[in-house]
Structure 1
């Protein structure tokens, strides 16, 4: 039996060591988060999509090269004559010269003779192969303005991804520190449960010798049940935290190594927070977009110039006599909208208003972030004072409980008095946990505003 117990104990130790070995540290979890989190992956795809849109606009500068292949069969007079002319195969006979040279009998005015070959031609096949290149030379800075807009949009998508990553890091770090606080609270409650067990055994002994009553034992058992219920809740919260960490990392996580030190207060100045804040960066990019949109609106006042060139060949068979029937065309076109009822000026005025609106929104964002920073700093300072006070109160509650436990053994106080002091002890533990949770939450919220401390 002793050997069996020893073997089981050794197996438990090995299992505990394996769990510790496989447990994730916070830095390891943060690295996994960047590559495994599904929301960050989706945001990465958004950035790639924005870059593709930017390349689409940039490609307009290079123009377009198109190939066209026409295949037709027609006996329409205009089409047949045009087909022959395009194929460079038109003859004088196609103009009806046969009827002109030998007019029908009784015709006095030869100019009124209808050329039958021209009006009623036979069917003809037509194959035309054409290669055409068109390129914009000047668009009134419209393309460059849209390029700038798409570039700013790509930056905004990158900032969106960065914001999501910062949010997920905040949630992961908070989960780790929440786990550490739960472990600390569980440790304290287990210590209280141990004291209750001692008190329970003491009460039983005192009942046996007539120094205590059964109601005292019932009070102890009731308090013990209360502590056990709290412990069950805390273990359930730990289980939920593991589920949430697994969700964030997109993989099963059964063990972590919670941080042992408290979260330090970030050292960012208010100016640094404003310069690092993602929402303000996005507002700046939004203002840049409005400026580019204004430039794009002003493009309506400028002419546009484009050039084109094409080569083609045509025949009644596919690529028949292609070299003899080839043709080329080159040219350019200038287009200038001189008047359109004031639409362009209205668009420019709208863009100016949108730009001014964005400027005011940027200033509002800065003021709002500065207000949040001041509020969080005040809340953290208040919570620090609350935690320091609760720690002293917990030390006092522990000392008072130890004192009342000793006095109960001497029959100087009742069991109700001991239970009351123990309730105060538990209350301070829970209050301290809530205060520490609040402090961690505010510190990480401060870091989010500054887009700060990645690890």
Structure 2
């Protein structure tokens, strides 16, 4: 019969356990759905587009321009005709000239000064390309690549921080559930003690004040349990916030966190803050190159093809024209501004070099501090575990002695208070150890 019942209820147990979200799956959800990580990823994509827009300057630009105008301005009309290759001698007012007029040079040609209105359509393709810019474009492209690397490191840092928070929440939940079980066991003991005291009062072996002391302690333990369960509910809300989806049940870790085996050199090589400082140094080097580009001449080329008429694309082939050329520009003197900019870039580079060294020393100091705190927490947990075992044994002893009228109820309550105190102290110590280990992992940025 037991086997049949087990077979019937086993699928229900399996279904219930499958609803608990394990840490490994939660980490994958975090990486895909956390809103801050998504925002950091978008920042990286934006930086990649900045690289493309800067690098694209190498290819120059091609513009198409379509002009339409109508004018009776003498200069414009003559220019329109000349551009569309339709100017003739009549446009100069030859109809007003007379070879017999001795003052021919003073004649004001009416056709030239007062032309009729004319439309002007011009279609033009214009291409410009930089040939040499003193390495400015390549330097700015390197700067943008450095910025993209900074954004990528920022994304990794956000991910590392969120992984730290999620792991800590899972292990905080495990500690809470363990403490809740211990407190529920204590509450069960108090309930048993309450029944025993009630029985002893009925037979005259205990006083009512003993029962009041038991009930007061019971109320205190129930209050602590309510607080712990409220904290448990808050943790579920926080985990749901991190994963950007509703989480009602998680699979709490069953073992303590193992201390990571990182050497100081491993941490310094992998730490994201140091990588960011080093990348910033590379950016400053590229900015120095960009500032030195002002010492070089710049050379660019252009080509243009156009057609013009008094109608849109009228006789386009006959009226087409082209222009090609190049331009060299070289700033010889600008009051020492370029030199000042170069010197400033050199100073900024030296400043970042100092910051890189400072970052390495700061991380080394922080690493030593965390390792010391973990070592101290391990010793504290070891000591508190033994103290809790002793407090449990003493309470059980005093409870038995109370039944034999060898100690008072007040003595039993005091020993039980010591038991509860050790449970809470152990919870704090384990939580502190977990936090420091996660800080060590975050410092080394082992999560990718």
TM-score after normalising by structure 2: 0.97
The 1:362/1:141 distance shift into structure 2, 3 A limit, reads same
Write the distance in 1 (CA, Å) between the matches of 2:10 and 2:194: 31
Shift in Å, 1:453: 4.5
Corresponding residue number in structure 1 for 2:182: 188
1:63 lines up with 2:60 in the alignment: yes
Instruction: Write the mapping of 1:14-33 to structure 2, written as runs, cut at 5 A.
Output: 17-33=14-30
Q: How many residues align?
A: 444
Q: Secondary structure at the match of 1:268?
A: coil
Q: Secondary structure at the match of 1:70?
A: strand
Matched-pair contact (CA < 8 Å) for 2:395–2:419: yes
Write the distance in 2 (CA, Å) between the matches of 1:19 and 1:246: 19
Corresponding residue number in structure 2 for 1:312: 306
Write the distance in 2 (CA, Å) between the matches of 1:395 and 1:181: 17
Corresponding residue number in structure 2 for 1:4: none
1:166 counterpart (160, 167, 170): 160
Corresponding residue number in structure 2 for 1:75: 72
Write the distance in 2 (CA, Å) between the matches of 1:331 and 1:87: 21
Matched-pair contact (CA < 8 Å) for 1:20–1:255: no
1:145 lines up with 2:145 in the alignment: no
Per-residue displacement from partner, 1:88-123 (whole Å, max 9, x unpaired)?
Answer: 1111111122222367xxx53211211111111111
Matched-pair contact (CA < 8 Å) for 1:63–1:134: yes
Matched-pair contact (CA < 8 Å) for 2:194–2:215: yes
1:350 counterpart (324, 339, 344): 344
Q: Secondary structure at the match of 2:97?
A: helix
Shift in Å, 1:18: 3.5
Write the distance in 2 (CA, Å) between the matches of 1:14 and 1:186: 28
Give the CA RMSD over aligned residues.
Answer: 1.7
Write the distance in 1 (CA, Å) between the matches of 2:165 and 2:78: 77
Shift in Å, 1:15: 6.6
Per-residue displacement from partner, 1:125-173 (whole Å, max 9, x unpaired)?
Answer: 1111001111000000000000000001001101111100110000000
Corresponding residue number in structure 2 for 1:233: 227
Q: Secondary structure at the match of 2:102?
A: coil
Write the distance in 2 (CA, Å) between the matches of 1:326 and 1:243: 72
Write the distance in 1 (CA, Å) between the matches of 2:49 and 2:98: 67
Q: Secondary structure at the match of 1:131?
A: strand
Shift in Å, 1:281: 0.5
Shift in Å, 1:14: 7.4
* Higher mean C-alpha displacement, 237-246 vs 115-124: 115-124
2:371 counterpart (367, 372, 377): 377
1:443 lines up with 2:437 in the alignment: yes
Matched-pair contact (CA < 8 Å) for 2:128–2:301: yes
Q: Secondary structure at the match of 1:101?
A: coil
Matched-pair contact (CA < 8 Å) for 2:163–2:447: no
Q: Secondary structure at the match of 1:165?
A: helix
2:403 counterpart (402, 409, 418): 409
Corresponding residue number in structure 2 for 1:296: 290
Matched-pair contact (CA < 8 Å) for 1:19–1:255: no
Q: Secondary structure at the match of 2:205?
A: coil
Corresponding residue number in structure 1 for 2:37: 40
Write the distance in 1 (CA, Å) between the matches of 2:17 and 2:236: 15
1:100 lines up with 2:97 in the alignment: yes
1:178 lines up with 2:175 in the alignment: no
Corresponding residue number in structure 2 for 1:280: 274
1:208 counterpart (202, 207, 221): 202
Write the distance in 2 (CA, Å) between the matches of 1:192 and 1:318: 95
1:259 counterpart (253, 264, 267): 253
Q: Deviation above 4 Å: which 4+ runs of structure 1?
A: 10-17
1:90 counterpart (87, 90, 95): 87
Matched-pair contact (CA < 8 Å) for 2:160–2:447: no
The 1:144/1:78 distance shift into structure 2, 3 A limit, reads same
Matched-pair contact (CA < 8 Å) for 1:125–1:317: yes
1:331 counterpart (308, 325, 332): 325
Per-residue displacement from partner, 1:188-219 (whole Å, max 9, x unpaired)?
Answer: 11111111111111111111111111110111
The 1:208/1:16 distance shift into structure 2, 3 A limit, reads farther
TM-score after normalising by structure 1: 0.95
The 1:14/1:214 distance shift into structure 2, 3 A limit, reads farther
